[in-house]
Structure 1
Amino acid sequence: MSHIDYYFTVLSPYAYLAGLQLEEIAAKHGASITYKPLDIMALFPRTGGAKPSERHPIRMEYRAMELPRQARKRKMPLNFKPAHWPTNAAPASYAIIAAQNAGGGDLGALTHAILRASWVEEKDIAEDEVVQACLKEAGFDPSLTFSGLLTGAETYARNLEEAVNAGVFGSPFYVLDDGAKFWGQDRLDDLDAHLSGTL
């Protein structure tokens, strides 16, 4: 059975636009997923990237065209300039880590609910109430926002180091146990084909 390490940030519009396609592909091929939320702002300078606020205007102009275009392509709503972005990604990331450790709910649904809260619903995912609502929606105990803080912080930091060591430089990023890597929601079809043995 194949395994996928899914590196991402809850701040990523491209992770939002991936929807639940990764989970569908994994189910199709009987693959397992480990969700690895990380601090993308710390990852960028370590892997040759730049924070959005530090990017050249030409790159940001393209981003302003590409994000709405990808949303239309996928028929997904998207607020290109959400009210609470960027925000503190740690609370929502810790909750995902705690939920993964606790089990009993739908991690894909939780991750997408958090991303949707930011990029569609104009909510601040740094607020406990917002994250707790996402946990409950996905079948997890909302109190995980409190009980998972220490482990969440440790794992969050470790995910960053593992990402650098694995050659990850953006979000979403998918690393398979056979060494194959795929960057971006627009490469999920390639990931699917790879698991099928046709690519």
Structure 2
Amino acid sequence: MSTRIQYWLSTASPWTWLGSARFIALARSAGAEVDLLPVDLGAVFAATGGTPFPQRSAARRSYRQLELGRWSKRLGVPLQLEPRYYPVDRGPSSRLLIAARNGGVDALGLSHAVLRAIWQEDRDIGDWATLERIADDCGLDGVALARVAQRPETERQYLENTRCAVEAQVFGSPTFVVAGERFWGQDRLDFLAERLLQGCRCSSDSTSGSIRSPQ
């Protein structure tokens, strides 16, 4: 049985962008199933005591930028510290990912492309036409996905994701949850890798035990 990872994310989070490629590679190498769960981070902050970036003190904003630059350099992941379209409405891009996931296409790969669009390419992920082109570039049908993303039921699912995130004690992006255990931040991916390895060992032991059992 493969391990399941809940991947709670904001499509406008720079920290999620910095960890995106590594997380995708880790999940795929572990053979894990990923539940892609975009959330309204502003609503999550409001419910859990967080503060949106524009509302933080000057000291906190400047240090956040300093850390983003450090991590970008350390990881070799290009990142625009002051993208043209930020802050941005996360709703359209989040609903696009939900539509992709529900449609059984590569929503995880699309999430990486959306994050790259804002943090590397200076594109407006709050604009439906831009999102359609991003999806097209991923080999998907952007127009069809955008049409589904704009349906009321997709919006309701986005709101439900956000409610469930708060219920699961998620308070930032990215957050990875395996069997109820939370890992917050791109700098916790090493811990997530260890947890996935434990899951692989347990599965291997269980399989080995069934082979050795009397017939």
| TM-score in terms of structure 1 length | 0.94
Q: Indicate the residue corresponding to 1:41 in structure 2.
A: 42
Report the equivalent of 2:154.
Answer: 152
Q: Deviations over 1:92-151 (max 9, x none)?
A: 1111000001123x2222111111111111111111121111211223211211123223
1:139 maps to what in 2? 139
Q: Distance in 1 between matches of 2:139 and 2:65?
A: 35
Between structure 1 and structure 2, the one with the greater Rg is 2
CA distance in 1, matches of 2:147, 2:33: 27
Q: Which runs of 5+ in 2 are unaligned?
A: 200-215
Letter in 1 for 2:163: E
Please list, as runs of the form range in 1=range in 2, the aligned pairs for 1:1-199 lying within 5 A after superposition.
Answer: 1-104=2-105, 106-143=106-143, 144-149=145-150, 150-176=152-178, 178-197=179-198
Counterpart code for 2:112: H
Contact 2:21 2:112 in 1 (8 A): yes
Q: Retained in 1: the 8 A contact 2:5–2:35?
A: yes
- Cα RMSD of the aligned pairs, angstroms, is 1.3
The Cα offsets for residues 14-73 of structure 1, whole Å up to 9 and x where unpaired, read as 011113222211122221001111110111021011111221222212101100111111
Higher relative helix content: 2
